[in-house]
Structure formats: structure tokens, C-alpha cells
Amino acid sequence: MAMSVPRMDPLESRAWLALVTTSELLPAALDAHLRAEAGITHFEFMVLSGLKRAKANTMRMTDIAAMVDSTMPRLSKVIGKLVERGLVEREGGASDGRVINVRLTSDGRKVLVRALPGHLAQVRDLIIDRLDRDQLEALADILEPLVERLDPQRNMGQLAASRS
């Protein structure tokens, strides 16, 4: 069955190699930078950013997980640590007794605000400022359908609700 899949030609190889390599290096670079500058991971940064944008700085676990494209167990543990550090709070008061609301604390906001300029600068330095407008558009046009295909179930695009 696993019949012969055509080998990659040079152009295909180039594109594929570049994409895989980027996918391995970029997350590591973001983590290292944010960790050094603000003591948080990129994942935590995205969580805190999402909370900051949210109404009342509050979201339920499930929605956060969808936004950052995470599994529940992973998110649960990360939130646990953020609570320990006082960057977010858990609030049980909801009509549905199962849901837990998570709110950004003022300390959390401080950490986020402190992390933001450096992070933005890194993103510009690594990516954005190295591409012209046409390239930015091409990149978005190319990757967006791929993301849709890659995303297990829900397309996390919702977080495109980012005007921040």
C-alpha cells in the first residue's frame, strides 16, 4: 500500500527544509528570549496576552486552551504555576459549576507589560523587519491554509481577535 510517493525535487526540498528548520528554531528562540528577559515562556506569554485582551481580563480554561492551541492538561499545569507566582487567579464563581475562570492579576499585567517591548523587538528583528510587504503577504497567504490543515480540530484563528 505504502506505494511509491514521488521523491522531492530540489525546489520542494528547499521549501520543506526551510520550513522544518524554522519550525524547530523559532520556538526555541522565542522561549529563550522571553525567559531571559521576563522569566516566562512563550506559551505563558501567549496565555497572559490572551487574558489581557479578554473582557474583564478573564477567560475560562477551555477557551484559553483553544486560543493557544493547547491540551487541557498542559494548560492546567501552566495555570497552576502562574497562580503560584501570583500572575493569574482562579475564580470558581460561574453558573456552570464545572468551569473555572482565570483572571490576570495586576502582577501578571506588570510582567506582561515588562515583557512586551522586548518580545516585540525580537519578533521584528528576527522576522518582520527582514521581510518586505510583498513577502509578508506571501508568507501569510501561504501559511494560513497550512495552519488550517495542521490544526487538529478547532482552528485557533479566533485569537485573531487581536487588536490588543
Partner DNA sequence: TTCAACAAGTTGCCACTACAACTATTCCCG
Partner DNA sequence: CGGGAATAGTTGTAGTGGCAACTTGTTGAA
Among 21, 62, 76, 106, binds a second copy (CB under 8 A): 21
Q: Taking the mean position of all CA atoms in its chain, how far away is CA 112?
A: 14
Among 56, 72, 120, 161, binds a second copy (CB under 8 A): 120
71 sits near DNA (criterion: CB under 7 A) = yes
Cα 121 to Cα 80: distance, rounded to the nearest angstrom: 29
> By CB under 7 A, how many residues form the interface with DNA?
27
Among 3, 92, 97, 153, binds a second copy (CB under 8 A): 3
Sketch the per residue contact string, 85 through 104, with DNA: x for CB under 7 A, - otherwise: -----x----xxxxxxx---
Binding partner of residue 16 among a second copy, DNA, none, CB cut-off 5 to 8 Å per kind: a second copy
Contacting a second copy within 134-153 (CB under 8 A): 135-140, 142-147, 149-151
112 sits near DNA (criterion: CB under 7 A) = no
Residue ranges that bind a second copy, judged by CB under 8 A: 2-8, 11-27, 29-30, 69, 117-118, 120-121, 123-124, 126-128, 130-131, 133, 135-140, 142-147, 149-151, 156, 159-160, 162, 164
